[in-house]
Amino acid sequence: MPTHAQSASAGRVVLDAGDISRALTRISHEILERNKGAEDLLLLGLQTRGVPLAERIATNIAEVEGATVATGSLDVTMYRDDLRSHPTRAPHRTQVPDGAVDGKTVVLVDDVLFSGRTIRAALDALSDIGRPAAVRLAVLVDRGHRELPIRADHVGKNLPTARTERVSLHLVETDGEDEVRIVGSASGSKGGEA
């Protein structure tokens, strides 16, 4: 597996730190507009890079609305339909504020939307936690190639890619930098793809 420096030098940058910040600001405003404010809103970041994205969106919403939005994290490892082919996944922790799901508008936040299988797993995991009033999806990057009928409600950037390409997403909180790259081969790069 390539080191961070090797993967950072591969491919072409399609979003830099400023682009990511602007996309998250726009997503934050869209969420507020659709929800008509911050009331009864819960942001659940999908492990791993969806968690810091959800926290950044919550910070943006707090700055605009002056209201704190509940955030949490959702691990979908045990709900995935590819565990037989990739059994070595390490589970992460799901953290949801007490009573924060039932009757709330839950916005699932993820980094890259690809096949839709991660989001299907997230919906299954969410149904085991509670019954939200509505579930919406916010992603930083939608790269297409859906295998399931899943569509994001809020998208930072639609990024058409070839199936052989990979989207490599780095965030300051997890990787020390903010950027999104398209890498020519599907092997060896970081960044979640749902």
Tell me the DSSP string of 94-160. -B--TT-STTSEEEEEEEEESSSHHHHHHHHHHHHH---SEEEEEEEEE----SSS---SEEEEE--
The full set of domain ranges for the chain reads 18-78+92-160
Which residues face 70 on adjacent strands? Answer: 42
Tell me which residue of 75, 159, 67, 157 sits closest to 118, measured CA to CA: 75
> Residue 38 is which amino acid?
A
Element housing 26 (H / E): helix 17-35
Say if residues 143 and 167 touch (Cβ distance below 8 Å): yes
Range with lowest mean pLDDT among 7-16, 85-94, 170-179 = 85-94
pLDDT digits (tens, 9 = 90+) for 89-141: 667 788 998 777 999 999 999 999 999 999 999 999 999 999 999 999 999 99
**9 vs 162, more confident:** 162
pLDDT at 82: 72
CA distance 181 to 190: 10
Q: What backbone torsions phi and psi does residue 112 show, to the nearest 5 degrees?
A: -130, 130
CATH number for the segment(s) 18-78+92-160: 3.40.50.2020
pLDDT at 99: 73
